[in-house]
Structure 1
Amino acid sequence: MKTIYLAGGCFWGVQKYFDLIPGVISTTVGYANGHIKNPVYEDVRSQKSGHVETLKVDYDENIILLSQLLDAYFEIIDPFSLNRQGNDIGSSYRTGIYYTDKNDVRIIQETFRLQQAKSAQKIVVEVCPLDSFYPAEEYHQKYLEKDPDGYCHIPKIKYEQIHIQEMSAYEKMCRKELFDPSDAYLRSLRKNTNRILNELNHTDNSLKEKRYELFKELFGRVGKNLNIKSNFHCDNGYNIYFKDDVFVNVECVFCDVGRIYIGNNVLIGPQVGIYAVNHPLDMELRRQGLEYGDDVIIKDNVWIGGHATINPGITLEENVIVASGSVVTKSFESNVMIGGNPARIIKHLK
């Protein structure tokens, strides 16, 4: 189950709308991101507490994706109206998307890109992390179920015409489903990745502070004392997650269509390839250029020798040593030395 928080004016109608969407598990109306604790409705309605009427949406991502929920959200709001939806005026009725998982940010950004392309007007929907959320009083919960003729700023036809958009190539990639990497949005992300890589690979290895700032811009997570020697190559960057005290030697290639997790105190030798990407066995699908992600997990205290290859879907448990030139085609338990093509256990370590 995942959760997103959506503000779209009076929360009565917003709740009724999302309760009709398949894949939505539960909803709760409440007050988000204000500056007082435990607000009540009168505090929020006064416009003095800073809170916004918000719907907490719990959903099953195996049934519906965040991008599809956001597309539905944009169907019922006026994204160009600041502090007003329908007849409801004030900052408590502002539109907003509030997240608790930073991995949702790129999905939100893609949705905004697609929505903004439809109009020259600037979208004024607020996007930020959730700071606080307080469930509203019980009489507000499922209000329009209790009073079907109650006030609602959302036209009734919207409830009858709920349409769930097909998932984007980016969403398919995140779900490790087959996707088309030639998608325009994915190309734009790779263009930005290549820009950062070009600057990184032209920045002297001795300029550690500058390089560290580029690491933070490039990768999904950067731990302390990350040291990557140029040249370095990757597909996306944002799917690579480093913990602390990681060293990566020259000319390594990380294909991060899926996620690559690197644990603490990991040493990676020169010209190592880590491939979190795969292609279909079906020839016709390959001809279409489709691919899918397959995560690679390198846990703490792993040492990977130069020229080794780590294939898709591999997990190396703690304190695995990979001999130089090895081709790793399966996962390995902790405290072993492996080597060969395909890699096998050479010895057990204490």
Structure 2
Amino acid sequence: MSGSPDRVRVLHVNDAAFTAHRLLKVAARHGEPWSFYPRAVADPSWTGISGRARFAGRGAAWVAGLARRAAGVDLLHVHSGAMLKHTRLVPKRFVLHLHGTDIRTLQYEPAWRDSVLWGVRSAAAVLYSTPDLAEHVLPHRPDAVYFPVPIDLGSLPVHPDRPEPRVFFASRWEDVKGLEAQLAIARRLVTETDAAVAVTGLDWGPGADAARSAGVELVPRMPYDAYVRYMAESSVVVGQSAGILSSSELEAIGTGVPVVAPLVPGYYPDAPPIGGGADAWGRPDAVTDAALVALRHPVSTSGAAWIARTHDAELGYRTLADLYPRLLDRAGARPIP
């Protein structure tokens, strides 16, 4: 395996939607000295004054651990602006990777705004994972780079023939995912398939009860591998109605299962192979029509080829392998030989 000629030592801090782990898996194949440090997790049983004290102690230990690891690397790659309240305590050059809620929502909340915007303005480079985030980050950081969600194609199951038709809503039932449009799609699918098709979705999100009332059969949240397999084994996957493709929709596309979703026009000029797409933006009925067509004429899609061209983890790795040395050159730092 060939390594990067500059061999920049990078510590990925935290993970979001498996992005860090997918990139690190590829980096390891290339012999890169990149490593991972998970975020601290509080025990929900820690309550009251003693619980707060234990949480503060764990946080202090986490920061101390980060400082030790940071001393042995050239660069930090911080996943999520929500990590900045703690990672900013360790003075080290860093890349900030924004994944969604951190820049779309948290930057507008008083408790988070200062730390998120400090990170956006102070980072050596800023990456954002979906095209809708541009309007939230570019005003503060015009040189921020769109970094498509990396997908590990080799780990995805392949869409099989399924004798019993099933539609699966892949997102949680929440306003940020386009809840009202999702419910409209679900109601019509339930009505028009008349129990001949299992219309299913995750039992997750504040709108889950409304989805159940609409006739959706809710299934429990499941481990990642089981979740991806459930998507692949469905007849049609309905993506979120927020106009973007996040990790779940991209993974479903990569398996070859037919995916339907509305997309904001202009977000994906490379024409993802899904039903609906930009033509269905703001039109739940158009998404439902696409789902019904896919049910009547079941075929596997060319999704894997599209993912390989646009979102494969190898592409993400190459972007970072090119970026990291340039950031150190800019700072006058020198990577290990």
TM-score by length of 2: 0.25
RCO higher in structure (CA 8 A, sep ≥6)? 2
Q: Rg larger in 1 or in 2?
A: 1
Q: Which structure has more strand as a fraction of its residues?
A: 1
TM-score by length of 1: 0.25
Q: Which structure has more helix as a fraction of its residues?
A: 2
